[in-house]
């Protein structure tokens, strides 16, 4: 099959759900021949248990990235991180080596996300690949290696004694491109097991483990893959700012996570712990969710009082617990009390789930997909349209509960408020230590049912805009958790 054929609609659906060409025990493969390029071997991620892996991942993106290349897809139905059935694994490796030897071009690339990245790293050595692209990789999965740190996948893995590959090492002579979420300490730790001398690192400004899905949703996964493939000896233009430390205060992430459990069990405060281990702001907040998780049922509501609603919900999603659920429920009940004009705020729009919430009803343009905590701005100008029956010639105030850009130094938020066609207020706010932006305004003499808000990020220098295709818009934009209108 010629990969130059456009991938879309039912054709894409058939190809991504096609039956495997071969199976070696639990390992299934599907290959399509290119006409001029090299070979790329893409490994599936874990998928959504308990469902089987059905779709072959990233084939559509590879169509745009390397249209003439041979594409070989591999999935591990045992979900063992390629540690099940040693004879079958050897047969798979031999078959892949023979298949890539028939490629029309000289290059061999391995690619994968999460467990697929583990496979990409492993087979980069076995196939003597030129380039390996690992998205949110697991590097160490053996329990003896991850004890006290990363237990996310233990339910899928065989005992250490039965593991062929408890850890993967970079392949000699292969250029590695590693993309990982900068706000997930476990993924930071896994990435830190590879040294900068062995790989180019790209920090994604998110806590979402599935970086591939986020890149895909922004339409840049294919270009990112193409960039890594076509410029194999240089770093990709996906920016890695702000820099992410692999060591904090001279200590590794793994040792700090162990220290968190000891400190939480001893009843110490998070502030005392962070001072002792010399983890300074803002990096200390990367550890705070793990501290709360270690506190367990002893976690008190006042310990998380400084977190926004979105941060609290995100923590609950990553670390589900009965105690944290009770705290979230109590805060939600407080937010949904009957509006009291004497307290100042008349109406509040917010998001509670990724697919619902009143915040989604007032987003006009310039916004990304809504998430559990709220929404990120998209681009440099974002607009809101608020249905609000306001009394003419009356003083009100608008509050935007915002999440500052990760690199917020020298960044401002310019807000323009309109009631009907008339501009009623314009002001620029600094993001420094600010999570609520309040703008006072007076309604015009003519009543209007709509309040329009335009918010734009202002900064003197935004280095990420040097690479507009690959720029992480969250680094230049801001997060919006809630909008309120009230009396003055």
Distance CA 336, CA 363 (A): 21
Assigned token pair, 363: 């987003």
Residues of the chain with pLDDT > 70: what percent?
74
> 315-323 long-range contacts, Cβ below 8 Å, gap at least 24?
315/289, 317/372, 318/207, 318/289, 319/289, 319/290, 319/292, 319/293, 321/293, 321/296, 321/297, 322/297, 323/296, 323/297, 323/299
> How large is the C-alpha radius of gyration of the chain?
25
Q: pLDDT for 5-59, tens place per residue? A: 333 333 444 455 678 889 999 999 998 877 678 899 999 988 654 445 557 888 8
> What residues contact 340, with CB distance under 8 A and at least 6 apart?
none
Distance CA 470, CA 267 (A): 44
Distance CA 368, CA 377 (A): 6
Q: pLDDT for 382-419, tens place per residue? A: 889 888 778 888 888 899 988 877 555 556 788 999 88
Residue 234: count other Cβ atoms within 10 Å of its Cβ.
11
| Cβ–Cβ under 8 Å, residues 127 and 72 | no
Distance CA 59, CA 15 (A): 8
Residues of the chain with pLDDT > 90: what percent?
11
Q: Which domains are seen in the chain, by residue range? A: 9-230 (3.40.50.1820), 247-335 (no CATH), 341-487 (2.60.120.260)
In this prediction, residue 340 carries a pLDDT of 44
Residue 337 in this model has a pLDDT that exceeds 60? no
Assigned token pair, 104: 């029309």
**Average predicted confidence (pLDDT) for the chain:** 75
Q: How many CA atoms lie within 13 A of 303 on its CB side?
A: 23
Q: pLDDT for 201-253, tens place per residue? A: 877 767 778 888 878 876 778 888 888 888 755 554 444 434 445 556 667 77
């Amino acid at each position: 099959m010629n990969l130059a054929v456009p991938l879309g609609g039912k054709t894409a659906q058939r190809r991504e759900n096609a039956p495997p060409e071969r199976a070696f025990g639990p390992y299934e493969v599907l290959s399509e021949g290119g006409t001029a390029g090299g070979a790329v071997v893409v490994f599936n991620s874990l998928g959504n248990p308990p469902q089987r892996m059905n779709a072959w991942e990233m084939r559509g993106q590879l169509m745009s990235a390397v249209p003439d290349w041979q594409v070989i897809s591999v999935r591990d139905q045992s979900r063992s991180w390629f540690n099940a059935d040693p004879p079958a694994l050897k047969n798979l490796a031999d078959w892949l080596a023979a298949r890539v030897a028939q490629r029309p071009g000289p290059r061999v690339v391995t690619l994968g996300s999460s467990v697929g990245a583990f496979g990409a790293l492993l087979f980069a050595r076995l196939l003597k690949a030129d380039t390996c692209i690992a998205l949110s990789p697991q590097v160490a999965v053996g329990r003896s290696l991850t004890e006290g740190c990363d237990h996310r996948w233990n339910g899928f893995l065989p005992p250490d004694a039965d593991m062929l590959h408890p850890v993967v090492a970079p392949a000699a002579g292969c250029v590695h491109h590693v993309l990982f979420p900068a706000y997930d300490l476990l993924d930071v730790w896994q990435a830190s097991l590879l040294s900068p001398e062995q790989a180019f690192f790209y920090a994604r400004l998110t806590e979402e483990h599935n970086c591939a899905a986020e890149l895909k949703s922004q339409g840049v996964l294919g270009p990112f893959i193409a960039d890594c493939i076509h410029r194999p000896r240089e770093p990709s233009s996906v920016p890695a700012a702000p820099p992410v430390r692999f060591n904090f205060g001279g200590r590794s992430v793994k040792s700090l996570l162990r220290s968190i459990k000891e400190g939480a069990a001893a009843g110490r405060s998070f502030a005392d712990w962070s001072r002792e281990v010399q983890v300074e702001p803002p990096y200390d907040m990367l550890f705070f969710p793990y501290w709360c998780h270690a506190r367990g049922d002893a976690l008190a509501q006042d310990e998380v009082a400084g977190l926004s609603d979105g941060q609290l919900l995100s923590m609950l999603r990553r670390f589900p617990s009965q105690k944290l659920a009770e705290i979230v429920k109590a805060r939600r009940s407080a937010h949904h009390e009957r509006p009291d004009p004497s307290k100042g705020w008349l109406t509040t729009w917010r998001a509670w789930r990724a697919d619902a919430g009143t915040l989604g009803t007032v987003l006009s343009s310039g916004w990304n997909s809504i998430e559990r905590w709220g929404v990120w701005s998209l681009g440099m100008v974002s607009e809101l349209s608020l249905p609000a029956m306001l009394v003419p010639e009356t003083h009100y105030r608008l509050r935007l509960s915002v999440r500052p850009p990760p690199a917020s130094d020298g960044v401002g938020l310019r807000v323009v408020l309109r009631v009907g066609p008339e501009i009623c207020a314009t002001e620029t706010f600094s993001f420094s230590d600010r999570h609520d932006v309040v703008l006072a305004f007076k309604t015009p003499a003519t009543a209007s049912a709509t309040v329009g808000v335009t918010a734009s990020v202002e900064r003197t220098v935004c280095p990420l805009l040097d690479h507009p295709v690959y720029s992480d818009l969250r680094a230049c934009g801001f997060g919006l958790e809630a909008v309120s209108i009230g009396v003055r």
